[in-house]
């Protein structure tokens, strides 16, 4: 049956599906009215990042600042990427949204996370020419079956019309998971881990890198380095969550 034929019935089908499987909050499993939403109680507990924040890495400041300001961490060592923004803080609460999406096949959460990303990254999206996800190594991709950053990148591209290129950046070797490594070891772990497959695609372009969590920035910095070395004009980073370390 072709989908155009089904279109007039889509609303009815969705109503029946909602009746049979009422949409629930992905965190507490309480019923919600919109399948693409979080219940108000959980929504309140997510620490969305709002200004004032570091002009470069997007880390929120806990005090009032005037004008554009850069955090101590970025002042000490300026990142290779130009600017990063994240939707919310990574903590024990928001983990309940990120981890199932990343590891447990909850790809149905992608449209919701995509909405948060578009809102948090509006400023960067306005300037970007190409969306590129941080890639997984081939073996990890086989194990996990999908690249969570790729799914988000595709959704943002569809909503904004900015072209999406999932294969321009490739992860050459299987790197250890960054999660348990210290900052110094994280930098070493991802050094020279990426290559560019087609540098014509990125030449003079402003690239928007997509990833799930920004921690030390070691991975996105390494990606930014290779993208810039191959002619990218600017590299922005948009992630779902930001870890304050």
Closer of 55 and 129 to Zn ion (Cβ): 55
Q: How many residues in the shown chain lie near Zn ion by CB under 5 A?
A: 11
Burial of 49 (0-12, 13-18, 19+ CB in 10 A): middle
Residue closest to 134 by CA, chosen among 207, 47, 206: 207
Binding of residue 42 to Zn ion (CB under 5 A): yes
Name the minimum Å distance from CB 57 to Zn ion.
3
Q: Which of residues 63-92 bind Zn ion (CB under 5 A)?
A: 71, 74
Residue 192: CA count within 13 A, CB half-sphere: 0
57 binds Zn ion (CB under 5 A): yes
Which residues are CB-neighbours of 228 under 8 A, at least 6 positions away?
80, 235
Burial environment of residue 117 by CB neighbours within 10 A (0 to 12, 13 to 18, 19 or more): buried
Q: How far is the CB of 206 from Zn ion (least distance, A)?
A: 20
Judged by DSSP in three states, 155 sits in helix
Minimum distance of Zn ion from residue 124's CB (angstroms): 15
Q: Please, which residues bridge with residue 86 across strands? A: 239
Min separation Cβ 56 and Zn ion, Å: 5
- Candidate segments 3-11, 34-42, 167-175, 215-223, binder of Zn ion by CB under 5 A: 34-42
131 binds Zn ion (CB under 5 A): no
Cβ nearer to Zn ion, comparing 68 with 143 = 68
When binding is defined by CB under 5 A, the residue of 46, 53, 54, 210 that contacts Zn ion is 54
DSSP letters, 13-69, are HHHHHHHHS--B-TTT--B-SSTT---HHHHHHS-B--SSB-TTT-PBPSS---SS-
Under the binding rule (CB under 5 A), the answer on residue 187 touching Zn ion is no
CA–CA distance, 234 with 245 (Å, rounded to integer): 25
CB 207 within 8 A of CB 132: yes
> In 180-219, where do the E strands start and end?
194-196, 206-214
Binding part of the chain for Zn ion, among 42-50, 87-95, 119-127, 137-145 by CB under 5 A, reads 42-50
If one asks whether residue 49 binds Zn ion (CB under 5 A), the answer comes out as no
Q: How far is the CB of 25 from Zn ion (least distance, A)?
A: 3
Which C-beta is closer to Zn ion: that of 25 or that of 89?
25
> Is residue 25 within the footprint of Zn ion (CB under 5 A)?
yes
Examine residue 27 and tell whether it contacts Zn ion (CB under 5 A). yes
Stretch that binds Zn ion, among 8-16, 41-49, 113-121, 231-239 (CB under 5 A): 41-49
Contact set with Zn ion (CB under 5 A): 25, 27-28, 39, 42, 54, 56-57, 59, 71, 74
């Amino acid at each position: 049956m072709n989908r155009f034929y089904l279109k007039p019935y889509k609303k009815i089908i969705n109503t029946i599906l909602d009746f049979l499987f009422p949409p629930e909050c992905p965190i507490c499993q309480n019923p919600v009215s919109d399948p693409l939403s979080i219940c108000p109680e959980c929504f309140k507990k997510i620490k969305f990042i709002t200004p004032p924040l570091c002009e470069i890495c997007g880390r929120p400041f806990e005090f009032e600042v005037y004008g554009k300001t850069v955090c101590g961490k970025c002042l000490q060592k300026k990142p290779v990427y130009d600017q990063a923004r994240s939707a919310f803080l990574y903590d024990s609460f928001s983990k309940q949204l990120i981890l199932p999406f990343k590891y447990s096949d909850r790809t149905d959460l992608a449209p919701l996370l995509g909405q948060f990303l578009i809102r948090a990254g509006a400023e960067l999206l306005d300037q970007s020419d190409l969306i590129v996800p941080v890639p997984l190594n081939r073996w990890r991709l086989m194990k996990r079956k999908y690249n969570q950053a790729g799914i988000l990148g595709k959704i943002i591209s569809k909503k904004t019309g900015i072209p999406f290129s999932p294969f321009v950046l490739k992860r050459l070797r299987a790197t250890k998971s960054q999660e348990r490594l210290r900052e110094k070891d994280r930098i070493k772990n991802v050094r020279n881990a990426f290559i560019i497959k087609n540098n014509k695609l990125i030449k003079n372009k402003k690239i928007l890198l997509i990833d799930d969590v920004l921690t030390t920035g070691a991975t996105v910095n390494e990606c930014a380095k290779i993208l810039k070395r191959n002619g990218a004009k600017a590299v922005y980073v948009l992630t779902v969550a930001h870890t304050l370390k």
